[in-house]
Structure 1
Amino acid sequence: MKKKILFLFLLGMFSKIFSAEYTLEELDALYNDKVITQEEYSILKKEILGSNELESGYYNLKINGKQVTNIYSVATKGERAYLNLEEFLTLLNLNNYEKKDSVYKIYLGNSLEEVVIDTKKNRVSKNGKNIPLKENWYSMEKGNLYLEKDVFQELFLSYCTVDNSTLQVSMYVNFATPEEISSILDVTADKLKNVDVQPDIVYRGKRSLFDLGYTRVQLGQSFVKNEHEKGYKSNWDGSLEYQGGLLYGEFFAGYDLKEKELRDLKLEYENIWNDHTFVINNRGSGSKREWGLAFYKDKGFTTDGSKITIKESVPIGSRAELIYMGTPIAIEDEVNGSVEFTNDMIVGDRTYQLKIYTPDGKITLKEIKTVEDYNRQNRHEIKYDFSIDENKDKKRYATKGNVFYGITDNFTLGGGYTRDIVDTENGYKYFDSNSLEVIYGEVYNGYSYTLRTAGEKTWNSFDEYSKKLDDRYKYEVMGDLRVGKYKYKLSQENYGKYYDEKRRNNFEFQYDVFDNTRLTYDIEDMKRYDKTKERSEKLGFSHDFTFKKVLLGSSAKFDLKDSNKNEYSVNAYYNGWQSMTARLENKWENSGKDYETTLNFYNNNFRGLFDVSVELGYSNIRKESVTFKVSLDIDNWLTFDSNISKNGSKEFRVGVDRVIDLKNPKVRIDSMDVSRVNVITFIDNNNNNILDSDEITIDGVEVTIGNQKLVTNKKGRGTFYNISNGLLHDLKPKIKKPSFALGDNKIKVLSNVSSTVDAYIPVKPMINLHGVIELDKILKLNEQEKEDFYSEILIEIKDEKGKTIELVSPDNTGTFDVSGLFPDSYNIEVSYVGTKYNIESLAKEMKLDYKYNEFVLGFEHKITFNVTNQSIKLTEHI
């Protein structure tokens, strides 16, 4: 507390000093030089300009889902944001525009839509159509034009969000961007990332026939007292889980210690081909075991038409937060290697973040976009979804298969086969069906649309309880149109006489009034073969906004046919207490007659020791109208849970949850989804970053991964344990031996399977280049003249790319030294810069080699330059 008060006092004094004595330009320079932070910059700028003036800063910018830059200029005034026009044009390489005085003429896409911006006449138009403008719709900052976000979006974008809390801008353009622009952006991005930087060395986990893995032991004792019972009944539970490498995949197994039953077995090959996963399952079904196969490409969420469920695979033992608008809206603990979220705040066409806390203290983020793609594929891209599931009771195998192929970037063709198991008058039989889908979509004149037609037909000839399989078919046509903030979806499904339904028509309308404010309207008509009809009509509204560190979300769903089915919700989320987050959720159903509320406090890894969750709930729907829950995980091995209801029911559980590395049980392990990393440090004689047969290992190198540290032994080796899978870890070596150094390469470790990763760290022997200038007798120089001559010689050492590494002159004896060079090829240029002689310069490629004989303190490469009155020659001493 004292530190915080001191910081606020110093910041206040700092603010007064700067606001009184420094200009805005000087403040910008301090921020650009990283003397002050973003937060200090914002506070001090407000002091100088006043709160009603425009504030500008640098934001991260994503265009069409791709990170483009982290220094995009955005100006803000209150709740309004202004986006830099010229930076936007430059980043997209849109050169097809004219600027004259106060007028911009910009031509977009292949159709050359004309955008005219005239700041002097306060006029903005697109294709000749004027756009309504508000007051202060633009701003000029340092000669750059900033457009107010709504105007900017009307002209160029179909979607845009500006998050001032995280300094993020995400936008999708509403015109067809040429492929050349995308190519140029990719090339430019690659060049910017790799300027003067050596490529990363990434060591990956390798699949193996068998690799002994990890086991998780869970034991617990429960004490339960139900309503009207006087005492507690005790019970225990226990389980074993295993994860390790098998048959070049990842094997998972579980065993119930109390019931003495083998749980589900799974052999998984994640990302085995083009982001597809292959899984072999063996599941328990009573006293029987059933097999299953699956090959699929997961997009991270599913929808049943009304609710969206986000499901992601995470390391076992993890907790995950679902984040929206910078605030956690839900938290779930891992179950069977995944987390699943259903929440009223999860809606379509939004971007969420999944923040995953692994048991070893690592944190990773995944971005999830709930945008329906209708299985569209890019040109020559293919997507599979196959599964086979055994049913022991029916003695049959259910089969499903779909494949989607992108013929062009706009046109996708899909087909499928399904074999269902059904009960008929003559026992269990198969229904064999085929399906066909045609999907076409593109962006034209700012309109994004998708057209889809699909059909399914069963081919078997027998009847099922008087229903003819010849009539078991259905087909659908659908159109999805998105124009700016509007979305329209119209679909019709038709069914054969096998089904009760005959036709189903559906229309959906969505309007994003403002950022995070949405109106929806759905209407559905259904006709049955018995001539009955059914109609539903629903109106929806949702509004989410942040106030300081509180996210407030509200929604209402009105059933226009039956008001008793109306639903409302108001939720608040707060994450202002360091690792602690609070969640208050309120939901009304049946037009407000039924009410449910939940208040939850939870944290992740508090002080590196505790995971705590406390929940208080009330409901007039369930019998236990008031509930109180506490969950505590201490140091990732001791757990405590309690659940108390108003009706008198109480439940307490205390247990242990521990993971063991079966190769080294003494090592502390927090998760089963981890790998071991064997580090090997070696002298890279030829600078190729590979351990060759004639190169030797070197000891005494300090290596760090996260908060783990080791020093390689006499054999140049060391082992890290508990390294989380699925994350890219920086491996940071430090060498203290003289005459050795580490190269410019960044070394990383990535493993997606529980295995042992071999990470080879190249240590570079540094060479000292020792040179001597020998002057020919023909120059006839005395000692003083020689000294003057040496000072007029320049030696420049360049790498193979032409970058100057060293520029030196010989001393008064004619010698020079260049240290810190590695075994590599260099270009050496020697020039005489005096005026007395006309001596031709020397430019020559030279390769520095090192041959190891014994461990010494330094390695030297000697050269001599012979200088005459006309030329310079190089002699190397090997």
Structure 2
Amino acid sequence: MKKFVLIFLFLSLISNAYGDNSGFKYSGDVVYFEDEGEERERIYTLKVGGEVYSLSYPAVVENGKNYFSVFEFFKAIGFTNYEIKRGKLTFSLGQDGEKKVIDFGDLTEKEYIYENRDYYISEELFKEYFAQTIRIDENKYEVNINPSFLLPKVVNLLLNAKEKELDLEKGKPILYYKSERKLFDLGNLRVNLEKSIEDSKSEGKSHDWDGYLEYSGSLLYGTFNTDYDLKEHEFGDFTITYSDLLDGQYELELGAYGEHREKGLTFQKDRGYLNDGKEYIIEEKVPLGSRVELLYNNIPIEIQYEEGGKVVFVNNLIKENREFLMRIFTQDGKILERKIKINDDYNQQNKGEFGYDIYIRDEHDSNRVNSQMDIYYGYTDHLTFGFGYDQIPEEKDGKYLSVKTVNLQTIYGNSFYGNPYTLKYELKKGINSINGASENSERKYVDKKYNTQHNFMVDTTIKDFSINYEIYENGKYYDEKREQNLDLDYDVFDWLTLTYEYENTKYHDSRGSESDYKYGAEFGYSINSLLLSYEIDKNKAGDITHEVDLYYTGLKHVLVKVENSWDENEDYTGELRITNKTWSEFLDYSFGVKYTPKEDTRVVLDFTLKLDNWLELGAYWAKDDTKSAYIGIDRVFNLKKPTVNMNNLDSTNIKVMAFLDGNNNNKYDKGEEAVPNVDVKLGDKTIVTDENGIGYIYGVTSFIDYELETSCKRPTFKSDINLIKVRGTGSSEVVAYVPVKPMISFTGFVDFKNATEFDKENIISDLAINVTNKDNTFTQTIYPDSTGMFYIFDIIPDDYTFTFEYRGDDYVVDKYKENVKLLYTDKNRGENEHTFILNRGE
């Protein structure tokens, strides 16, 4: 105490000597200093939704404004779904993962403070992004935030609940039905007829027409396709396709092609996108009736509707090393998303996985076989080995040679400190027979030309740099001895990429070598519903090209696209395109204007209108006074029932057969009763089974898994015990059996071998009966009444186990277990009875 008095006197002396001591407060044995000025840095108790999340949440007060820490807020609530890059904070909040961005480079000094490697944003900005309300209690040093999004803890609870729901769904038996491959089955016929009128100054008025028939149906357990030109009276290719092979990843096609009916075979793996030179085409299978948006930089750049079970996107912005999001709106109200990374995977396979790409064609002109076969095997998840064999007809001195080569590939992909890379080496060598070879023989020619080719490639991304380098070493008979290609991309910002391409070719002859290069920039920026893309390139010769594209999607289901390109020679092309499709697909229109000042037809207008997915109208007008118009019919019929619309040629029918599954084996057994009035729903289509338990769903797109929703109108029947999935694999019909479970009741009786009525009644009062079925999907605990009788209602026929357990203390009763098969038969009509004999111990 004496020590404390000395300290107090010392502090009092200092305060009297150097100023007013009103800042000192004394309370009992505690002395503390109270600053009447404003504290700049403050520590609060953070409450979110009324719950304490942090006892030391930092804030800054500057010029009378509150600034709250962003990273400490994320840390307190357990939020990790964010990224900070070049002063731009990107995060996704809530259950729906809504993406938001705070670009600190665009904010003023009054809107944020950067201190201690943390961003403090103003109260107004914090509220805009994270809170409905913010309440500050200065007396308690508390900040109470009412969040504007679902907290991670709440999201996890919802996800856990969803997982439990999915687990229950997983517990249901899955019945999976696919198209029945048949030797022959009548399929679908597309009728396309078009009448056109054209009027121009030079040619005058003319009439023309086109028409063709297209057929798809089952043949030889595959899908047979062909077409017939009504105007030229000619058949097209004949093909038989075996799709959905090896877990749906592969497709085998046998055919007779062209006017000479060249026989051919292809067997390949579905990649999801095609590479046509430098142009990438995204082709994806989607559910029936889907509307699909392709998004780049979170802005839709194309809108397509499912046709033929797929969508195809061709767009200037689809380029290598870009990532796109495909958002699929299905007819049953679901929204599916797929990420599409446009990057050559170089045929890498997962461990133990095979990949095939086989092409064989019997060519008419050369009278030889053209075959190209590649097989890839994933030795590990990183290392893939490839083997290839090619036999390609090649003309030399007026005759054809069969050039035979083999190639070996090694592909290795991995990452180094988070930077992905792929290495590929390929060796290609000619293997034509050497026996009896002369100087001009195939062997000598091939030996010089193809002995030996080497190809080395490295593809990597190092932070913001993407590098692709490839080198080819060719044989003597090639003009090019060595080819080198280098592509560099540097992402300066998320919206700006610098590009550089370099090519160097060394020749076998006196030309020596030559090189070319091109460099430029790609700018892409999106705001709200507007996306702006600008690209500029300049090559070694000094030629400069520009391309500017604008996309606007602010109007529902409407895409407005403006594309412009020009070069230094003022060769300009501009196009405006407006497309729309209503959700009902009754009306589909497209309007376009194209302007090219250097051509005679400098301005071109075109307009198409499609009604109810079968009647199409169109018009075309060019500035040179060329005008045309057409009317056409495009309709797909099912030849077994021509009145139904099949949507596309590959559509199939689903034949639903509802039956009473009295023995609960999920299979239709001969003699089982048909169930009428069962509702079966697929997307927006609902059918009701007839008196024979049969119903049809027409026009279902193939190669997509669908789930049927079923419900029975009779309360004593239940049809949703199983998950029923269907998949069409061509125009063949899918037969889907819907097992309807009769709800039965059970009456049980408990009796004893050696117990008096008095003992029996006392034992039963403490007796518990646990009932489970064979799959443990049903469990229930029952207590009998005083007479030993108990009941179970609304259960399905199944094998049940009854376990009897005495829970009292006055008697010794052996635990007893018995299996009973409960049935639904014509005799019992769902009312089952059974007596259980228990043994009272001594």
TM-score relative to the length of structure 1: 0.72
Q: Indicate yes or no: 2:587 matched with 1:610.
A: yes
Q: How does 1:646-657 map to 2 (within 5 A)?
A: 646-657=623-634
Q: How is 1:424-823 mapped onto 2 (pairs within 5 angstroms)?
A: 424-459=396-431, 463=440, 468-473=445-450, 474-515=453-494, 517-529=496-508, 530-559=510-539, 561-564=540-543, 566-588=544-566, 590-591=567-568, 593-693=570-670, 695-773=672-750, 781=758, 792-800=766-774, 805-811=779-785, 815-823=789-797
1:240 aligns with 2:213: yes
**Residue aligning to 1:250:** 223
Q: Which residue of 2 aligns with 1:80?
A: 89
Greater shift, 302-311 or 253-262, is seen at 302-311
Aligned to 1:203: 177
The code of the aligned residue for 1:25 comes to G
Change (3 A) 1:340 1:738: closer
Distance 1:834 1:774, change over 3 A: same
Cα contact 2:244–2:729 (8 A) shared by 1: no
Counterparts of 1:825 and 1:447, CA distance in 2: 57
**Is the Cα–Cα contact under 8 Å of residues 221 and 654 in structure 1 kept in the other structure?**
yes
**Residues 361 and 605 of structure 1 are in contact (CA less than 8 Å); yes or no, is this contact kept in structure 2?**
no
- Counterpart CA distance in 2 for 1:335 and 1:702 is 27
Give the 3 Å change call, closer, same or farther, for CA 747–232 of structure 1 in structure 2: same
State whether residues 567 and 587 of structure 1, in contact with CA within 8 Å, keep that contact through their aligned partners in structure 2.
yes
Q: Structure 2 CA distance, aligned partners of 1:653 and 1:675?
A: 31
- Alpha-carbon spacing, 1:846–1:517, altered in 2? closer, same or farther (3 Å): farther
* Residue identity matched to 1:296: Q
CA contact (8 A) 1:829 1:841 kept: no
1:263 aligns with 2:263: no
Greater shift, 422-431 or 722-731, is seen at 422-431
Q: Please report how far the alpha carbon of residue 319 of structure 1 lies from its aligned counterpart in structure 2 after TM superposition.
A: 8.6
Shift of 1:864: 4.8
TM-superposed deviation, 1:637: 1.7
- For 2:500 and 2:700, the matched residues in 1 are separated by 49
Give the letter aligned to residue 665 of structure 2.
Answer: N
Are positions 1:352 and 2:321 aligned together?
A: no
Report what 2:253 is aligned to.
279
Structure 1 unaligned regions, length at least 5: 1-22, 29-49, 59-70, 85-121, 124-132, 138-145, 147-163, 169-187, 872-878
User: What's the CA shift string for 1:278-319, capped at 9, x where partnerless?
Assistant: 11232334xx43332212223133446643333457899999
The answer for the alignment partner of 1:152 in structure 2 is none
**Equivalent in the alignment of 1:151:** none
The one-letter amino acid paired with 1:511 is Y
- After superposition, the Cα gap between the structure-2 partners of 1:206 and 1:778, relative to the gap in structure 1 and judged at 3 Å, is closer
Residue type of the partner of 1:495?
A: N
Per-residue deviation, 1:653: 0.5
**Which structure has the greater CA radius of gyration?**
2
- Residue 650 of structure 1 and its aligned partner are, at CA, apart by 1.2
Conserved 8 A contact 2:589-2:608: yes
Question: Is the alpha carbon distance of 1:444 and 1:712 closer, same or farther for their aligned partners in structure 2, counting shifts above 3 Å?
Answer: same
Decide which of 218, 224, 229 is 2:192's aligned counterpart.
218
Amino acid at match of 2:192: Q
CA contact (8 A) 2:308 2:651 kept: no
Give how far 1:649 is off: 1.3
C-alpha displacement at 1:768, in angstroms?
1.4
In the alignment, the residues of structure 2 paired with residue 736 and residue 638 of structure 1 have an alpha-carbon distance, to the nearest angstrom, of: 39
Alignment partner of 2:822: what SS?
coil
Q: Distance in 1 between matches of 2:498 and 2:176?
A: 47
Q: Measure the CA separation in 1 of the matches of 2:645 and 2:70.
A: 53
Deviation at 1:238, TM superposition (A): 1.0
Q: CA deviation at 1:270?
A: 1.8
Aligned to 1:108: none
Alignment of 1:4-15 (within 5 A): none
Residue in 2 aligned with 1:172?
none
Does structure 2 conserve the Cα–Cα contact (< 8 Å) formed by 1:364 and 1:727? Answer: no
TM-score by length of 2: 0.75
Cα–Cα, structure 1 residues 606 and 53, in superposed 2: closer, same or farther, change >3 Å?
Answer: farther
- Worse-matched range after superposition: 569-578 or 511-520: 511-520
Cα deviation digits, residues 164-188 of structure 1 (max 9, x gap): 99x99xxxxxxxxxxxxxxxxxxx9
2:574–2:594 CA contact under 8 A, matched in 1: yes
**Alpha-carbon spacing, 1:631–1:524, altered in 2? closer, same or farther (3 Å):** same
1:88-103 matches, cutoff 5 A? none
SS at 2:173 equivalent = coil
Residue 49 of structure 2 is matched in structure 1 by 25
Task: Name the residue aligned to 2:18.
Answer: none
User: Does structure 2 conserve the Cα–Cα contact (< 8 Å) formed by 1:55 and 1:75?
Assistant: no
> Is the contact made by 1:221 and 1:655 (CA closer than 8 Å) also made in structure 2?
yes
CA distance in 2, matches of 1:333, 1:757: 24
Deviation of 1:626 (Å)? 1.6
1:359–1:670 CA contact under 8 A, matched in 2? no
Query: Distance between the aligned counterparts of 2:298 and 2:837, measured in 1?
Result: 64
Q: Which position in structure 2 is the counterpart of 1:828?
A: 802
Deviations 1:689-731 (A, max 9, x none): 1123463333332222223333323332222221221222221
Partner Cα distance (1:695, 1:57) in 2: 64
- CA 1:52–1:860 in structure 2 vs 1: closer, same or farther (change >3 Å)? farther
Change (3 A) 1:717 1:799: same
Cα deviation, 1:622-656, whole Å, max 9, x if unaligned, reads 43222211111101221111111222111111111
Q: Is the Cα contact below 8 Å between 2:773 and 2:779 reproduced in 1? A: yes
1:248, distance to aligned residue in structure 2 (A): 1.4
- Alignment check: 8 A CA contact 1:362 1:724 kept: no
Q: Which moved more, 1:369-378 or 1:298-307?
A: 298-307
The alpha-carbon deviation at position 503 of structure 1 amounts to 1.6
1:422 aligns with 2:394: yes
Contact 1:56 1:74 in 2 (8 A): no
- Say which SS state the counterpart of residue 666 (structure 1) adopts: strand
The alpha carbon displacement at 1:796 in A equals 3.3
Q: 2: CA distance between counterparts of 1:56 and 1:241?
A: 64
Distance 2:67 2:521 in 1: 33
Q: CA 1:712–1:189 in 2, change beyond 3 Å: closer, same or farther?
A: closer
How many Å apart are 1:799 and its aligned residue?
Answer: 4.0
Q: Distance between the aligned counterparts of 2:794 and 2:288, measured in 1?
A: 46
Question: C-alpha displacement at 1:73, in angstroms?
Answer: 6.5
Deviates more, 1:658-667 or 1:476-485: 476-485
Cα deviation, residue 581, structure 1: 2.1
Instruction: Answer yes or no: is 1:297 the counterpart of 2:269.
Output: yes
Give the distance between the partners of 2:777 and 2:306, measured in 1 at CA: 51
Alpha-carbon deviation of 1:212? 0.8
Corresponding residue SS for 1:721: strand
Deviations 1:824-873 (CA, angstroms, capped at 9, x unpaired):
233434445556x24547352433321512584x42334456685x59xx
Using the TM superposition, name which of 301-310 and 374-383 deviates more: 301-310
Q: Deviations over 1:132-155 (max 9, x none)?
A: x56469xxxxxxxx9xxxxxxxxx
Tell which deviates more after alignment, 823-832 or 382-391: 823-832
TM alignment of 1:88-127, pairs within 5 A:
none
Structure 1 pair 57–702 and aligned structure 2 pair: CA distance change class (3 A): farther
User: Residues of 2 paired with 1:255 and 1:479: CA distance?
Assistant: 48
CA contact (8 A) 1:315 1:672 kept: no
Which letter does structure 2 place at the counterpart of 1:240? L
On the 8 A contact 1:73/1:83 being kept in 2, the answer is: no
